[in-house]
A and B are shown apart, each in its own frame.
Chain A
Amino acid sequence: MGLRKLTDKMKPTFSKGGKLSFLHSTFEAFESFLFVPDKVTTKGVHVRDSIDLKRVMTVVMISLVPCILFGMWNIGYQHNLAIGGDMGFWAIVWYGFLKILPLYLVSYIVGLGIEFTSAQIKGHQVNEGYLVTGLIIPLIIPVTTPLWMLAIAVAFAVIIGKEIFGGTGMNIWNPALLARAFLFFAYPNHMTGDKVWVAGASSAVDAFSGATPLSQTSEGLSGLLSNYSVTDMFFGFIPGSIGETSKVAILLGAIFLIYTGVGSWRTMLSCVLGALFVGVIANLCAPGPNSALAIPAYYHLLLGGFAFGTVFMATDPVSSAQTSAGKWIYGFLIGAVAVTIRLFNPGYPEGMMLSILLANTFAPLIDHYVVQSNIKRRLNRAKTV
């Protein structure tokens, strides 16, 4: 327990009256990262469940691991395809690792830097929330995103999306999605098109198209399947944002989240139902087999960021609806709006980001009506007695 002794020795320096007392929050954050604190209950219950927010966040981070690993491999794989090379498995993974590492470094250094600074200014403790946000952000952007853009987007998300509302637990929108939305609207050229999804594609062979299947939905089913099969889309051998391509990896994450009870199965299920609902209606109204409307409804679950958004972003406990009934409505809204945007706005086929942000905005309203109906039930009970 040498580390414990060292921490105890350093503690007075950072405590009130110590030389470095202005770094109090930072010290405390590191200390509680290393050790579960020796705090005991004072009021109320005398024993506490062994779960804490660090544990909750850890669960989410573990659930993201399959997506990260696959994403790393897929970066290299797509690059290899684009240049027509013949890299081996480890070369592909190494290439992906080198591409993803700077994104993570920037995401965490900028994000945590702001979190620590603002905790320091407010004299608060550093919240664990950004550990997850920082892990998600690189997964939902194209691999070619310039690092300075990422830095600005992260700063925007943390400051405007979270800190001005009072930190983790108080924010209205999912901070990771806010970062992506910022990039999308500020630097659209780097977020859409055929060239952004594959690393090192500038040296690509001529015939190579880096388009994601999703961007080809406007061309109908045949356009969609011109480059990739459904199996490709399911396993994730397609271009796209780093973490979103493999539905297998996402499913693994979803199973883990549902099993631990950290992610809401209600939100995930209703989100899928919402997408299928709109998808089926579109199928029924499709004017011809080559219309985008004719794309079978279940394809939407495989395309673009739908699956990733459903599992990891819609279920964010802070920005989603809080009540069980509210979660059904909230999830359904996300799925339905996402597919609607995809089908009826060919200029911007990825609807998931906007639809989650929209549903985040409406979540308090949805909850308000759910709670209101509870209040009405209570008042009616008084009348009937």
Chain B
Amino acid sequence: MSEHIRLKRGLDIPISGVASCTVTKTVVPDVVALKPTDFRGIIPRLLVKEGDAVKAGTPVFADKQHPEIIFCAPCSGVVNEIVRGEKRKLLEIRIKADKETDYLHFDVPKVYTLDRQNIIKLLLETGLWPAIIQRPYGVVANPCTTPKSIFISGMATAPLAADPDYIFSSEFDALQQGIEVLNKLTDGGIHLSLDARNFAGTELHKLQHVIYHSFVGPHPAGNVGVQINHISPLNKGELIWTIDLLSVSAIGKLFLNGIYDMRRTVAVAGPAALNPSYIKCIPGIAMSSLAEYFDTSKGELRIISGDILTGENVGTNGFLGFYNNLVTIIPEGRYFEMFGWVKPLRLKKFSASHSYFSWLTPQKQYDMDTNTNGEERAFVVSEIYSKVLPMDIYPVYLFKAILAEDIEKMENLGIYEIIEEDVALCEFVCPSKIEIQSIVTKGIDLMLKEMA
């Protein structure tokens, strides 16, 4: 066990509505959507048409460049709608779910009898490959490549994130099985990072055949990108794969039970969530099936699949994302506030800066909404960004290199080491209200295009 890695820089956003550790609902899926937009670097090619019957594990679409990467239905049912956006971009494949899920059964041999190629083939065929994300860029991993190691974050520091100790408390065997599988994919080992404050308390530290690391610090300490940066930073030309615990567990279940079992425990949280707690469901469930957790009659709400920093605004008619195990519900902030910026106290508003007084009450939680609290301006205050980015990177210089589309500078300044979630806090604290994650998205898209 190595030393604790202490991160000083970062910020835990004190938003109210933490989910209490009870399961209050098991969602029986009605309409379930698969969203190709959840997967970066994928150009989808449909494998089904409206009216087709599917089982849990039936391929629904594949990647055009790597047709062996397929994406499967998480439940059985009938494809009832294919939603396209501008330029016929494939947005959603909606499946009307059966009452009882009918699983496609895969013939899965014991892990120790398989070699790397067999494992890759199996993960591809069963639709679990997209769970593996490649760094740099955060795209779905290319099965033809070999990473230097695989990283898993065993801690969740994002605002209101589901507590891994709670949601995986009964999935220990599946996790262990998943790790055995992943170990076949790399010679560099599986790096699992845990929260040092609860290292001995969590079941996760009993997992075997992993290399443990422990982190102490505020968000984004739980981001796998930050962990990589401190353990084995990425250099040009290197590849690391990352996978979240949800998917490790799903891979484990495949090898234990032979089915594509995406059932998961999901937190429903946020200041506007009624009875914030956990639910059992599958990815792709409709937000309308969570109607008892929010009340839109009192004002407009935003339903986010994911956390408040990186999640997607899916609305009341949207669906849970493939990688998400959190639904955050917050009020929209469409209101004017007279002289808001000059009010000395503004006790109901949170600010990481000392120009308000919220830092004096660190225990207080805030009912945050989506108001931008100001208008967009040019970069003026340069120091605050690195205070929430615990990496040896000069964020503003990187952002400006991206805006200037200077590939060489982007490489030199660390574009390989970050994805959007790692700089989300920079965006949160930005007094100029710049959309920093969008800048990083632009940079990654540019790199993917140039390096292709």
Q: Is A169 an interface residue (CB 8 A)?
A: yes
CB contacts (< 8 Å) of A59 on chain B: these are 355
Number of interface residues of A (CB under 8 A): 58
15 A-B pairs within 8 Å (CB atoms) are namely: A45-B437, A47-B308, A49-B428, A49-B430, A52-B373, A52-B433, A56-B355, A59-B355, A168-B377, A259-B354, A260-B353, A260-B355, A375-B412, A381-B235, A382-B236
Provide the bound-state CA to CA distance between A36 and B432, in Å. 14
Q: Is A19 an interface residue (CB 8 A)?
A: no
Q: Is B309 an interface residue (CB 8 A)?
A: yes
B377 to chain A, nearest CB (A): 5
- Residues of A in contact with B (beta carbons under 8 Å apart): 1, 3-4, 32, 34-41, 43-56, 58-59, 125, 127-129, 166-170, 259-262, 264, 317-318, 322-324, 367, 370-371, 374-375, 377-379, 381-382, 385
Nearest B residue (CB) for A39: B372
B:346-398 near A, CB below 8 Å: 346, 349-356, 368-375, 377-384, 386, 392-394, 396-397
| Pairwise interchain contact B381-A56, C-beta atoms closer than 8 A | yes
Which 9 pairs of residues, A with B, have the shortest CB-CB distance? Answer: A52-B374, A169-B378, A36-B340, A382-B235, A50-B349, A44-B437, A35-B336, A54-B341, A36-B337
| Pairwise interchain contact B431-A51, C-beta atoms closer than 8 A | yes
Contact of B373 among A48, A166, A317 (CB under 8 A): A48
| Pairwise interchain contact B431-A49, C-beta atoms closer than 8 A | yes
CB contacts (< 8 Å) of A3 on chain B: these are 338
Known: A50-B350, A52-B374. A169 touches B379 (CB 8 A): yes
Provide the bound-state CA to CA distance between A54 and B427, in Å. 17
Q: Is B15 an interface residue (CB 8 A)?
A: yes
Provide the bound-state CA to CA distance between A215 and B310, in Å. 58
| Pairwise interchain contact B383-A264, C-beta atoms closer than 8 A | yes
Provide the bound-state CA to CA distance between A149 and B378, in Å. 30
Provide the bound-state CA to CA distance between A188 and B68, in Å. 78
Size range of the interface on B? 35 or more
Known: A170-B378, A261-B353, A371-B413. A47 touches B330 (CB 8 A): yes
Q: Is B296 an interface residue (CB 8 A)?
A: no
Nearest A residue (CB) for B334: A38
Contact of A51 among B311, B337, B356, B397 (CB under 8 A): B356
Nearest A residue (CB) for B235: A382
A202 to chain B, nearest CB (A): 41
Known: A49-B429, A371-B397. A35 touches B337 (CB 8 A): yes
A63 to chain B, nearest CB (A): 11
CB contacts (< 8 Å) of B310 on chain A: these are 45
Nearest B residue (CB) for A379: B412
| Pairwise interchain contact A44-B438, C-beta atoms closer than 8 A | yes
Provide the bound-state CA to CA distance between A43 and B372, in Å. 11
Provide the bound-state CA to CA distance between A167 and B354, in Å. 26
CB contacts (< 8 Å) of A50 on chain B: these are 346, 349-351, 356, 373
Provide the bound-state CA to CA distance between A377 and B369, in Å. 41
Known: A40-B372, A47-B308, A170-B378. A378 touches B356 (CB 8 A): no
Provide the bound-state CA to CA distance between A216 and B181, in Å. 81
Q: Is B95 an interface residue (CB 8 A)?
A: no
CB contacts (< 8 Å) of B41 on chain A: these are none
CB contacts (< 8 Å) of A39 on chain B: these are 371-372, 375
- Residues of B in contact with A (beta carbons under 8 Å apart): 13, 15, 233, 235-236, 302, 304, 308-311, 313, 328, 330, 332-342, 346, 349-356, 368-375, 377-384, 386, 392-394, 396-397, 412-414, 420, 424, 427-433, 435-438
CB contacts (< 8 Å) of A52 on chain B: these are 341, 373-375, 431-433
**Additional A-B contacts beyond A46-B370, A167-B378, A381-B235 (15; CB < 8 A):** A40-B371, A45-B309, A45-B310, A45-B437, A51-B351, A52-B373, A53-B374, A54-B342, A125-B375, A127-B377, A259-B354, A262-B353, A374-B392, A378-B392, A378-B412
Nearest B residue (CB) for A29: B375
CB contacts (< 8 Å) of B432 on chain A: these are 52-53, 169
Provide the bound-state CA to CA distance between A261 and B387, in Å. 11
Provide the bound-state CA to CA distance between A197 and B381, in Å. 34
Provide the bound-state CA to CA distance between A170 and B380, in Å. 8
CB contacts (< 8 Å) of A374 on chain B: these are 392-394, 413
CB contacts (< 8 Å) of A55 on chain B: these are 341-342, 353, 355-356, 374, 431
Provide the bound-state CA to CA distance between A32 and B377, in Å. 13
Provide the bound-state CA to CA distance between A158 and B375, in Å. 22
CB contacts (< 8 Å) of A56 on chain B: these are 355, 380-381, 431
| Pairwise interchain contact A46-B311, C-beta atoms closer than 8 A | yes
CB contacts (< 8 Å) of B342 on chain A: these are 54-55, 58
Provide the bound-state CA to CA distance between A168 and B310, in Å. 29
CB contacts (< 8 Å) of B377 on chain A: these are 53, 125, 127-128, 168-169
Contact of B302 among A43, A46, A170, A260 (CB under 8 A): A46
Known: A49-B431, A317-B381, A324-B383. A36 touches B371 (CB 8 A): yes
B85 to chain A, nearest CB (A): 16
B110 to chain A, nearest CB (A): 35
B172 to chain A, nearest CB (A): 33
Provide the bound-state CA to CA distance between A59 and B332, in Å. 28
Known: A3-B338, A36-B340, A168-B378. A49 touches B435 (CB 8 A): no
Contact of A318 among B311, B380, B437 (CB under 8 A): B380
